[in-house]
Structure 1
Amino acid sequence: MKSELLLLIAVSLCVHSKPLSGTAKRTFNKLLLISFDGFRWNYDEDVDTPNMDALVKEGVKAKYITPPMITMTSPSHFTTITGRWIEDHGVVHNMMFNSTSLLKLTHKATLKRSEWWDNGALPLWITAQNQGLKTASFFYPGGGANYSGQAVDRSLVEAFDHPDDNETEWRQNIDTVMDWFTKEDFDFVTLYYGEPDNVGHMVGPETNERRKIIAQIDRTIGYLREAIQKNSLANSLNVIITSDHGMTTIKKNPDVKEIKLSEYMNFLTLTHFDLLDYGGFGMIRPRKGQEQAVYDALKNAHPNLTVYKKEEIPENFHFAKNSRIQDIVLIGDLGFNLNSRFIFYVNKGDHGFSNEEMDMKTIFRAFGPDFKKNYLSEPFNSISIYPLMCKLLGVKPAPNNGSLSDTEGMLLENFDACGRIHISVSLLTIMTLLSSLI
């Protein structure tokens, strides 16, 4: 009888604790998503990272996560924030392009171009705003665009000359985000850092410079942890730390024969448009009637080059069914960049290779009041971060390709109790007193 009465009291508290529409604050915790561009899954294994190590005990670590097949910054970040495959969200490259007009814009030039990002797949910022939440994007790709005319509540976009590695500015960015949560009551914020991608490109992943930037990232995570405590957010803010793709060392002459496509085909006579010289992924639009000629010229041209006609692209790549994907798709083996007419020696490290390669896998860490502690997750696809974020925020997801079953095991068992109502200390005290009187 005693246990039945306590259960009845608990249920009653849950029912009567539900917020009244328009009159009470929702009960879900806030969420911060941080992306460190180009953070390969094992970058912390050869560096002293006390703060990342602490997060393993204080929260969740995935062994690694798999980005979408086009392992580039814009496509991968947009998959995370929409939960959609690349063929569905349409951001198929870092560069905005038009293969008819021959337009090509660099990554940073696309960041405010809504016509590149707004293809019908709603990012979480907009879906959450439409359900009453307040959202912000700090440098996150796609955050500066409009979606069906709707903008993110607060959006900061990287300038062309923005430095990627200023540790003082990194901390200032965290301070700004903490103010957004505490002083302006934002519910969901995305924060983007351009490292360690930049260092990985410039000097390569297996270098002391890369190790130094990982140590800097670890110090920044330490600063974040302190800032959360300082701003009294430890019991109300969940944090997810992840990335968009990994990085690998580029193979160069004379160690290997590099891929230079002009050795095998005539670009002037055979191609109308190409997107090449950007890592291990490229596309070609042949001149009218020349598709077979381009395909035949490249099919067996180089032992470390794979060539597909658009209709032959494997279904599990999840990017073929989009009009922006060109007639011929090329993928280099790990470390073999696709050079079109000349070989560029700019990047020592690169990405864009198959997402099945371990060097393309990325990190996942999470901590906060709704996450288990000292929990090691099996690998999963980055597309499943989206339904996890929706669950944490109490948002009804937009149509997506992710699976909550990949990630819900990292949440506390009582996450769904009482409709995810967090019973206050005072209510618990009342229950305890009632228990003693029964």
Structure 2
Amino acid sequence: MKKSLSVIFLFAILTVFSQSKIDTAQVIIPNRYNNAATIQKPYVIMISADGFRYDYAKKYNAENLLKYSNQGIQAKAMIPSYPSITFPNHWTLITGLYPSHHGLIDNFFYDYKSQKNYAMNKKEIVEDGTWYGGIPLWALAEKQNMISASLQWVGSGSDAGGKRPTYYYPYHEKFSPSEKVNKVINWLKLPENRRPHFISIYFPEVDGSGHHFGPDTEQTEKAVHLVDHAIGELVKKVNDLGLKNVNFIFVSDHGMIKVDGGNPLDFPEILLDKSRFDLYNSQTLLRVHVKNSDEVKKVYKELKANKTDDYEVFLDKKLPKYLHFRTKDDKYNRIGQILLIPKAPKIFLEKGGKTSIGKHGYNPKIVPEMKATFFAWGPEFKNNMVIDEFENINVYPLIAEILGLTITEPIDGKFKVLKPILKKIN
């Protein structure tokens, strides 16, 4: 039988795997080498700062990021995929697929086919590649004789897509940002036949501060500066290596907003019957699985008739098409038939439940605080260019183009969206 999922907050990522022995050792897959053609190709370092809202760099004067992005490419904002949550959007960035298409539809969810729970804080689960659809960029690179490396990006410890990165570290919170920088530099010091040309690196600090203290606080400002300092350190040390054609792409998965945790929304009374419903609550989205499919329309009508002005009720198949989170999109049948979506800053909270000061997950087209960051700089990028908002699915084909990789399976992203930011492409 399926166990009901309790609400677990995103800032729990700061203590992921804390109940098990923490392994800080690097994992190296042996007997992999760049071929001769790869050695001549550019490098891409893809950096994610979790929860780094689209306006944080200017709001908190992140000097290094502003300097580098002003020299290169600065997007007004990047639009996360729905729901605007960490694991779904990191996997979208690395596969070019919407969450409903790659299957990672939340940080915690239930798969009715396998009758198993996915949980972002369970090491054995997040390293099981069967949960993940799509071909992550490191797998795409490795299959085409290009060495890759990852520092704790979502899913990088799994065999999703058929190949792990040649170099990677399991997720933990033991490394400081400066230590992560040094590990990237050590990779770039390797002999050219073993040196990664695609590197992904993850920083959780800004998200943790945003959750615990809120987006408009001294603590979040300090976290932004901490990451910004690490970026400055990384760029300087990379430049000191004298490597040719190293390109940087700085992204985030979502933004952050202060929620009304003091006046949360109660679950509608009808949904408290566990014999009829499975509920999955991320607080900014309440997903309902109706066990008897014949009852869906009846339950929907009752929920709709009794709802308040603080939230919307949707049949999943009637959700706005642009969110790509409808029944037709649900490749793995993991979403549920009815969605209750609170209006920001409202959240759903069960009796006795807890929440955080800051949260995300809302529709980024309606709640601008959900928007993410995109900056890029390096020899492949044009200079001093500001671009309009775009969806994060389009980062994948951009990186594949820079690295000269052939995309082997259909994706949702389109290269044409970001094509104009590259120098050598007309």
Specify the TM-score bucket, using the shorter chain as the normaliser. 0.7 to 0.9
| Cα distance, 1:267 vs structure 2 | 1.6
Matched, 1:116 2:126: no
Q: Which has the larger Rg?
A: 1
Q: Which amino acid aligns with 1:138?
A: L
CA gap 1:56/1:98 in 2 versus in 1, 3 angstroms: closer
1:273 to 248, 271, 278: 278
Matched, 1:237 2:246: yes
CA gap 1:181/1:89 in 2 versus in 1, 3 angstroms: same
CA gap 1:178/1:141 in 2 versus in 1, 3 angstroms: same
5+ residue gaps, structure 2: 1-33
Counterpart mapping for 1:412-423 below 5 A: 412=423, 415-416=424-425
Counterpart mapping for 1:396-415 below 5 A: 396-398=406-408, 399-412=410-423, 415=424
Counterpart mapping for 1:18-417 below 5 A: 23-99=36-112, 103-109=116-122, 110-117=125-132, 119=133, 121-147=134-160, 149-159=162-172, 162=173, 169-183=176-190, 184-233=194-243, 235-253=244-262, 257-262=263-268, 264-268=269-273, 271-276=276-281, 278-288=282-292, 289-299=294-304, 300-320=306-326, 321-322=329-330, 323-339=333-349, 341-342=350-351, 344-356=353-365, 357-398=367-408, 399-412=410-423, 415-416=424-425
| Cα distance, 1:346 vs structure 2 | 2.9
| Cα distance, 1:315 vs structure 2 | 1.9
CA contact 2:252–2:372 (8 Å) conserved in 1: yes
| Cα distance, 1:375 vs structure 2 | 1.2
CA contact 2:261–2:356 (8 Å) conserved in 1: no
Counterparts of 1:270 and 1:140 in 2: how far apart (Å)?
38
Which has the larger displacement, 238-247 or 37-46? 37-46
| Cα distance, 1:374 vs structure 2 | 1.4
Q: Which amino acid aligns with 1:290?
A: E
Q: Which amino acid aligns with 2:297?
A: Q
CA contact 1:136–1:155 (8 Å) conserved in 2: yes
| Cα distance, 1:24 vs structure 2 | 5.0
CA gap 1:23/1:70 in 2 versus in 1, 3 angstroms: closer
Counterparts of 1:269 and 1:185 in 2: how far apart (Å)?
53
Give the corresponding residue for 2:6: none
CA contact 1:36–1:192 (8 Å) conserved in 2: yes
Counterparts of 1:91 and 1:405 in 2: how far apart (Å)?
26
CA gap 1:81/1:279 in 2 versus in 1, 3 angstroms: same
Counterparts of 2:416 and 2:287 in 1: how far apart (Å)?
34
| Cα distance, 1:99 vs structure 2 | 4.5
Which digits, 9 at most, give the CA deviation of each residue in 1:194-237, with x for residues without a partner? 1211111111111111111111111111111211122223x321
CA contact 1:108–1:158 (8 Å) conserved in 2: no
Q: Which amino acid aligns with 2:322?
A: N
CA contact 1:35–1:192 (8 Å) conserved in 2: yes
Which has the larger displacement, 328-337 or 64-73? 328-337
CA contact 1:64–1:380 (8 Å) conserved in 2: yes
Q: Which amino acid aligns with 1:237?
A: V
Counterparts of 1:373 and 1:148 in 2: how far apart (Å)?
34
Q: Which amino acid aligns with 1:239?
A: F
SS for the counterpart of 1:212 is helix
| Cα distance, 1:353 vs structure 2 | 0.4
SS for the counterpart of 1:80 is helix
Which has the larger displacement, 302-311 or 193-202? 302-311
Counterparts of 1:34 and 1:175 in 2: how far apart (Å)?
14
CA gap 1:90/1:416 in 2 versus in 1, 3 angstroms: same
Paired residues, what number? Answer: 380
CA gap 1:206/1:416 in 2 versus in 1, 3 angstroms: closer
Counterparts of 1:274 and 1:102 in 2: how far apart (Å)?
15
CA contact 2:259–2:347 (8 Å) conserved in 1: yes
Which digits, 9 at most, give the CA deviation of each residue in 1:147-206, with x for residues without a partner? 3543232222213xx26xx7xx21111111122122141110110111211111111111
Which has the larger displacement, 240-249 or 178-187? 178-187
SS for the counterpart of 1:397 is coil
SS for the counterpart of 2:186 is helix
Counterparts of 1:310 and 1:98 in 2: how far apart (Å)?
17
Give the corresponding residue for 2:16: none
SS for the counterpart of 1:407 is helix
SS for the counterpart of 1:133 is coil
CA contact 1:39–1:245 (8 Å) conserved in 2: yes
CA gap 1:149/1:376 in 2 versus in 1, 3 angstroms: closer
Counterparts of 2:323 and 2:316 in 1: how far apart (Å)?
11
| Cα distance, 1:348 vs structure 2 | 0.3
SS for the counterpart of 1:290 is helix
Which has the larger displacement, 185-194 or 101-110? 101-110
Identity over the aligned pairs, expressed in percent?
A: 25
SS for the counterpart of 1:359 is helix
| Cα distance, 1:49 vs structure 2 | 2.0
Q: Which amino acid aligns with 2:188?
A: F
| Cα distance, 1:105 vs structure 2 | 4.4
Counterparts of 2:35 and 2:89 in 1: how far apart (Å)?
36
Which digits, 9 at most, give the CA deviation of each residue in 1:228-261, with x for residues without a partner? 122223x3210100000111110144xxx53111
Which has the larger displacement, 82-91 or 342-351? 342-351
CA contact 1:259–1:302 (8 Å) conserved in 2: no
| Cα distance, 1:268 vs structure 2 | 2.3
| Cα distance, 1:284 vs structure 2 | 1.2
Q: Which amino acid aligns with 1:186?
A: P
CA contact 2:143–2:163 (8 Å) conserved in 1: no
